[in-house]
Amino acid sequence: MVYAGQCHCAALSYAYETAAPPSSWGVRACRCAFCRAHQARTTSDPTGSLAFQIHDRTRLVRYRFGLRITDFLLCAECGVYLAATTTTPRGRYGVINVNALREIPPGMAAPQPMSYGGESESERTARREARWTPITGDL
Ligand SMILES: [Zn+2]
């Protein structure tokens, strides 16, 4: 199944492909200050794929903080936090913010609170290579 998401003004969009039923998604509510401020709920599938379509590049903001190894993709026009991406030696990986899905799938799993503050950079990269969704196409 492909799940479509976009920012409010539709400048930025994603297509998230996963065979997993929404009831089995690992939905995470990270407790960092950025994610709390957006009430972000993220998910990923290492056996799925994630593709972005950027209809207006002037509206794409890549916000970085902390270890500065992650691009938090935000819309400069409407303010929506769409997804996060990272590049490692093994490839490019991302998580979607499910709040940007065009329709929240019925029965989607409830978010689990998460904290990643104690991770080193190498631990974080290894976790993402194992759990985040491979990105296809440009971005
Ligand atoms: Zn927008």
> What pLDDT digit, counting tens, does each position of 31-71 carry?
999 999 999 999 999 999 999 999 999 999 999 999 999 99
Share of the chain above pLDDT 90, in %: 96
- CA 8 – ligand 1 centroid, Å: 5
13 Cα to the center of ligand 1, angstroms:
9
As a 3-state breakdown, the chain gives helix, strand, coil percent values, each rounded to 5, of 20, 40, 40
Domain that holds residue 69: 2-136
Residue 83 has pLDDT above 90, yes or no: yes
Task: Confirm if 96 and 43 have CB atoms less than 8 A apart.
Answer: yes
Q: What CATH number did the domain enclosing 68 receive?
A: 2.170.150.70
The amino acid sitting at 125 is: T
CA distances from residue 10 to 13, 43, 56, 112, 122 in whole angstroms, order as listed: 7, 21, 9, 28, 35
Distance in Å, CA 27 to ligand 1 centroid: 23
pLDDT value of position 117: 87
**Over 90: is that where the pLDDT of 137 sits?**
no
Number of domains, the chain: 1
**Average pLDDT estimate for 115-135:** 94
Question: How far, in Å, from the CA of 37 to the mean position of ligand 1?
Answer: 17
Q: For residue 64, what pLDDT is reported?
A: 97
Please state, rounded to an integer, the average pLDDT across all residues of the chain.
96
pLDDT for the residue 138: 78
